Amino acid sequence: MEEYLDYPVQYWTEYVLEHYPLNFSESLGMVKELDLPQLMRIANFLTSRQVGNTVTYAVSYNINYSNYCAASCPICAFYVPIKLKGKTNGGYELSIEDVKKDLEKARDLGATEIHIVGGFNPDLPLEYYEDVFRTVKEYLPGVTLKALTIPEIDFIASTSGNSIRDVIERFKAAGMDAHTGGGAEIFDPEVRKQITTKEKISGEKWLEDAKIIHSLGVPGNSTMTYGHVEKIDQIIDHIIKIRDNQREIPGFLSFIPLKFSPDNTPLQKMGKVKLPASGETDLKVIALARIIGGQDLTNISVYWVSLGKEISQVALNGGGNDLVGTAFSEKIFGATDRKEGTTIEELNNLIRQIGKIPAQRDTFYQIKRYG
Ligand code: SF4
């Protein structure tokens, strides 16, 4: 009986090893045939083979420079419409002095990575970002600067009348080391239409921009926001597109599935999403990411801020090998009422509790020290 139960796991494990990269219909066939524990066992086996028993995280500090935004994505609880600037409370733009105050906090907390993202703010010129980036590097010369999502970079390029190439060259000169990989959402155009607005670039453009940015020597993460109106087909399609982009022009440091948090978002107010995705979906997404993309996307990150700490621990035994980071001062998920914080010690303990080895890493996934 035990052998019979194990057979599909053995069959699909061998199939993945022999036939990687799986195409869409193979991936969908596998998902239909296997249940969650089976997918997780395959994913866990592949994770151990690829990265061993270590779970990494970065000591990162988040700076969200402005919440004014020219887009108004139904999945977002963070933005204040730019047209309401000066007419409402709650909107902000950080000055360079504000950024310096944040950097002092980041220094006190021992951050090795500064993560910067914000809204599409047409009032901020390209020079603003250069000033912010230079300030980061002047104040904290040892840190790595992971800045902006790909749609933000595209927005800055189009509003400033520059090419992506020119913007990246200028940002590199100002201190940018990596992009954050955000804004990928779900590439499928029909789903994307429901969760973003026309101001945000298409999935195709996101992938094209990523190739340009990577070819200029600026790597970054890749993401997927799930748990809203998408189906499993669109999740598989998204993972395959990220993986194939990586095979063409490498530059993704990790793949980070982001669980949509509906609280305070227009999508929830419209009644389109009532609850967050189930823990089962969270675990399935991480397992699929490892199985479908893991040989090209070595680091499958489990973002504890969006999944919660306990489900994250389970996901680290089903395909994940990284907890992203401490995310000190995070505000984007915070706007949806997910306000949990953490400490380095807590992340180490969460990892040790599940029998894995904690390690602090840098932005480029090089281990700095074991926890
Ligand atoms: S997700 Fe980004 S682009 Fe969309 S409204 Fe929020 S801040 Fe603006």
- Summarised one tens digit per residue, pLDDT across range 223-235 is 999 999 999 999 9
pTM of the model: 0.95
Q: What is the CA radius of gyration of the chain?
A: 20
Q: What is the pLDDT of residue 268?
A: 93
Closest CA to 186 of 272, 124, 258: 258
Of all protein residues, the one whose alpha carbon is nearest to atom 4 of ligand 1 is 73
152 CA → ligand 1 middle, Å: 9
CA distance 181 to 242: 11
Q: What is the pLDDT of residue 332?
A: 67
Q: What are phi and psi of 278, to 5 degrees?
A: -75, 160
CA distance 320 to 298: 10
* DSSP 8-state secondary structure symbol assigned to residue 328: B
Q: What is the pLDDT of residue 2?
A: 46
- Summarised one tens digit per residue, pLDDT across range 230-269 is 999 999 999 999 999 999 999 999 999 999 999 999 999 9
Q: What is the pLDDT of residue 39?
A: 98
Q: What is the pLDDT of residue 337?
A: 62
3-class SS string, 109-139: CCCCEEEEECCCCCCCCHHHHHHHHHHHHHH
Within 10 angstroms of residue 70's Cβ, the number of other Cβ atoms is 18
Task: Give the position, in ligand 1's atom list, of the atom nearest the Cα of 197.
Answer: 4
Residue 126 has pLDDT above 70, yes or no: yes
**What would the DSSP string read from start to end of 22-51?**
P-HHHHHHHHHH--HHHHHHHHHHHHHHHH
Residue 186 has pLDDT above 90, yes or no: yes
3-state SS assignment for residue 360: strand
Of all protein residues, the one whose alpha carbon is nearest to atom 1 of ligand 1 is 76
Please give the mean pLDDT across all residues of the chain. 95
Give the Cα-Cα-Cα angle 130, 134, 140 (nearest 5 degrees). 145
Q: What is the pLDDT of residue 1?
A: 42
72 CA → ligand 1 middle, Å: 6
- Summarised one tens digit per residue, pLDDT across range 1-59 is 445 558 899 999 999 999 999 999 999 999 999 999 999 999 999 999 999 999 999 99
76 CA → ligand 1 middle, Å: 6
First to last CA, the chain: 42
Question: Which domains, from first to last, does the chain contain?
Answer: 21-363 (3.20.20.70)
369 CA → ligand 1 middle, Å: 35
- Summarised one tens digit per residue, pLDDT across range 133-182 is 999 999 999 999 999 999 999 999 999 999 999 999 999 999 999 999 99
**Sequence-ordered list of residues with C-beta below 8 angstroms from that of 151, at least 6 positions apart, any chain:** 120, 182, 183, 200, 201, 206
- Summarised one tens digit per residue, pLDDT across range 303-356 is 999 999 999 999 999 999 999 988 887 776 667 666 678 889 999 999 999 999
Q: Given ligand 1 and candidates 66, 67, 72, 78, which is best to mutate, with the most ligand atoms within 8 Å of its CB?
A: 78
184 CA → ligand 1 middle, Å: 11
As for ligand 1, residues whose beta carbon falls within 6 Å of it are 69, 71-73, 76, 78-79, 119-120, 200
159-183 in b/e burial notation, b at 16+ Cβ within 10 A?
bbeeebeebbebbeebbbbbbbbbb
Q: Given ligand 1 and candidates 72, 73, 83, 117, which is best to mutate, with the most ligand atoms within 8 Å of its CB?
A: 73
Determine contact, residues 252/220, Cβ cutoff 8 Å. yes
Exposed / middle / buried, residue 336 (Cβ in 10 Å: 0-12, 13-18, 19+)? buried
104 CA → ligand 1 middle, Å: 27
Q: Quick one: tokens of 96?
A: 């360079």
- Summarised one tens digit per residue, pLDDT across range 77-118 is 999 999 999 998 899 999 999 999 999 999 999 999 999 999
Closest CA to 27 of 39, 41, 45: 39
